[in-house]
């Protein structure tokens, strides 16, 4: 659905985008992660045919960005981070205006407007002025606008930017619903844990260069070289458990976390299964209260792969 090859954008000697190569299949939800100035918005504007690259190739639904801009725009919905709205219009008037621009006419136009309002849960605001909407409602209205012509591909640039916690949860639920509808989505966000919940692939970009491209679990394995477990035993038995575990050949090190009253157990290089740990502790008369693999989230992945360099 989306494919780029050596896509590059330069401003003078500055690489805003440096030989970006990625591929999204039908139904993919691709989380595009990077600091400000990394090249996320530049990529989306090029794919939306709003910005010409310096060199490289990109196709959307099989159409080249160079020769088929009109075809791409019919198949794509692009929602920028900040977009203008007509404050003196009602919500339905705003959407009908854009539906007319997409050449949706007559009763079909009203049906499409009602459909997207229901999808983004704004039906109860249909007669409200756009200027009266909150930031979260405005973001949902923007999403409703890009869904009017039923695009196959969505480019969403920071859709949760500036939203309060409730509005972010609502936006995340909406993105899941779009995923279930089979839309192919390229979404950028600074709220990394939320991307892990909805994306099947992620790309980490820094200073215009794609540093990682793949699924979340592969990214986690790349950052974490060893398998780590958190273990809690009966009160006052941490020292005995630590001594027992440190003596095991499959354990690299054991650290005490005083604030959590647990042990952090790191397995050796070639060992990934720690199921022997509970058995070892129980066989030696220690009561096990907690045993779980230490989780790593997208924030840890992001910090482990990037270097904090911006353009």
CATH of the domain at 273: 3.30.70.100
**DSSP run (H or E) holding 211:** strand 209-214
Q: Which of 204, 222, 240 is the last residue of a domain?
A: 222
pLDDT in tens, 180-239: 999 999 998 766 666 777 888 999 898 899 989 988 777 777 777 788 999 999 888 889
Q: Are 234 and 125 part of one and the same domain?
A: no
Q: Are 56 and 163 part of one and the same domain?
A: yes
Q: Are 252 and 114 part of one and the same domain?
A: no
- Write out the residue range of the structural domain in which residue 10 sits: 2-222
Compute the distance between CA of residue 201 and CA of residue 187 in angstroms, rounded to an integer.
Answer: 11
CATH of the domain at 154: 3.40.50.300
Compute the distance between CA of residue 188 and CA of residue 271 in angstroms, rounded to an integer.
Answer: 35
pLDDT in tens, 85-142: 777 899 999 999 999 998 998 899 999 999 999 999 899 999 999 999 888 888 889 9
In a domain, 308, yes or no: no
Q: Are 55 and 145 part of one and the same domain?
A: yes
- pTM of the full structure: 0.79
Compute the distance between CA of residue 3 and CA of residue 153 in angstroms, rounded to an integer.
Answer: 12
Compute the distance between CA of residue 185 and CA of residue 112 in angstroms, rounded to an integer.
Answer: 21
Distance of CA 9 to the CA centre of its chain: 23
Q: Are 131 and 264 part of one and the same domain?
A: no
Domain count, the chain: 2
């Amino acid at each position: 659905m989306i494919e780029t090859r050596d896509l590059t954008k330069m401003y003078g000697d500055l690489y805003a985008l440096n030989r970006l190569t990625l591929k999204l299949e039908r139904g993919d939800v691709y989380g595009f992660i990077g600091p400000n100035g990394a090249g996320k918005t530049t990529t989306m504007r090029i794919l939306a045919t709003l910005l010409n690259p310096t060199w490289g190739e990109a196709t959307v639904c099989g159409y080249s960005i160079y020769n088929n801009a009109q075809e791409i725009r019919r198949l794509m919905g692009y929602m920028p981070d900040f977009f203008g709205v007509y404050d003196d219009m009602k919500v339905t008037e705003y959407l009908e205006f854009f539906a007319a621009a997409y050449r949706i006419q007559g009763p079909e136009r009203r049906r499409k407007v009602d459909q997207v309002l229901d999808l983004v849960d704004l039906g109860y605001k249909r007669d409200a002025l756009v200027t009266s909407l909150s930031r979260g409602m405005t973001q949902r209205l923007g999403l409703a606008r890009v869904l009017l012509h039923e695009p196959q591909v969505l480019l969403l640039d920071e859709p949760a930017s500036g939203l309060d916690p409730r509005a972010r949860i609502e936006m995340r639920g909406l993105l899941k619903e779009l995923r279930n509808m089979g839309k192919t989505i390229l979404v950028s966000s600074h709220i990394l844990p939320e991307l892990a919940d909805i994306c099947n692939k992620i790309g980490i970009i820094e200073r215009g260069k794609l540093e990682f491209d793949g699924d979340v679990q592969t990214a986690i394995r790349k950052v974490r070289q060893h398998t780590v477990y958190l273990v809690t035993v009966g009160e006052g038995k941490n020292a005995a458990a630590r001594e027992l575990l440190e003596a095991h050949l499959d354990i690299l090190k054991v650290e005490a976390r005083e604030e959590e009253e647990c042990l952090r157990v790191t397995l050796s290089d070639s060992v990934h299964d720690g199921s022997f740990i509970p058995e070892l502790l129980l066989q030696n008369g220690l009561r096990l209260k907690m045993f779980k693999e230490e989780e790593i989230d997208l924030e840890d992945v992001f910090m482990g792969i990037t270097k904090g360099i911006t353009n």
